[in-house]
Amino acid sequence: MTWDFSFGVFLLLLAVLAFSSLRIFREYERGVVFTLGRFWKVKGPGLVVIIPGIQQVVRVDLRTVVLEVPTQDVISRDNVSVKVSAVVYLRVIDPQKSIIQVEDYLNATSQLAQTMLRSVLGKHQLDDMLAEREKLNSDIREALDTQTDAWGIKVANVEIKQVDLTESMIRAIARQAEAERERRAKVIHAEGELQASEKLFQAARILAQEPQAIQLRYLETLTVIGADKNTTIIFPLPMDLVTPFLEKSK
């Protein structure tokens, strides 16, 4: 009876030991295996057998992780204070480095992303932050990816989510935009006046070659003026029409 009980306990312990030595890793997971504290190899996906008590395994997820970067206070190159938030897309490409080279790669990448965000954006002016986000995203991603490569982390993309301005800066930008619109309107008006003067100059040269054309133009102008309800009309009389009469009167 005692022997049967001991054998049953042995079988139970053996089953527990066998069960504890099995690990199942999904397609997007890998296991970093350590033997007596030393790195052995990366295993998975599928069924992995380890030696309990001698080997330990750390599970690593290879899927892309979306990492929110907290809002940062950034001073631009033209001394404008803004609040910038961003999001980082990253994934593990080397499970061994992600476990051995850094304690917590997500927290480390988050802290590094905050520093890079302030550093890169601080080299640009406010207009660049608002108009050239694609270039800034690329610059931040390259700088961040260079640092995280030693941790086995690949930064796939960085996106600046929002750039918040102070109320005074928003009003200043609105005034600047209004001034720019007024400047464009004046330039367009000046260009129109220049084109009109060029056309008038060309018309004057053509009319000067034919005096009769000038007289016909005078008559046409008189017809246009007569169509309005005017009580007094001052109409210039060409001197070439008056000169013959003046000569006869002498």
∠ CA 161-102-23, rounded to 5°: 100
The residue type of 28 is Y
Q: How many domains does the chain have?
A: 3
What is d(CA 74, CA 191) in angstroms, rounded to the nearest whole number?
42
- The token duo for 199 is 């056309």
- Domain annotation covers residue 12: yes
Query: In DSSP terms, which residues pair with 29 in a beta bridge?
Result: 61
Residue 71 and residue 159 share a domain? yes
Query: The whole model's pTM is what?
Result: 0.65
> Does 3 reside within a domain?
no
Same domain, yes or no, for 117 and 25?
no
Within a domain: residue 1? no
**90/140 same-domain check:** yes
Q: Is the pLDDT of residue 250 over 60?
A: no
Name residue 34's beta-bridge partners: 39, 56
Q: Could you tell me if residue 89 is inside a domain? A: yes
Residue 98 CB neighbour total at 10 angstroms: 25
- 242 Cβ neighbours under 8 A, 6+ residues apart: none
- pLDDT by residue (tens digit) across 113-167? 999 999 999 888 888 888 888 999 999 999 999 999 999 999 999 999 888 887 7
- Alpha-carbon distance 39 to 233, whole Å? 105
Look at residue 241 and tell me if it is in a domain: yes
Of 60, 61, 55, which is closest to residue 20 (Cα–Cα)? Answer: 55
Asked whether residue 111 falls in the same domain as residue 138, the answer is yes
Shared domain for 30 and 108, answered yes or no, is no
Q: Is residue 79 part of a domain?
A: yes
Bond before 244 cis per omega within 30 degrees: no
Segments forming the whole domain that contains residue 121? 65-165
Query: What are the tokens at 82?
Result: 């803004």
Same domain, 150 and 107: yes
Q: Work out the pLDDT band at 190, boundaries 50, 70, 90.
A: confident
Range with lowest mean pLDDT among 74-78, 164-168, 185-189: 164-168
Of 138, 165, 192, the residue that ends a domain is 165
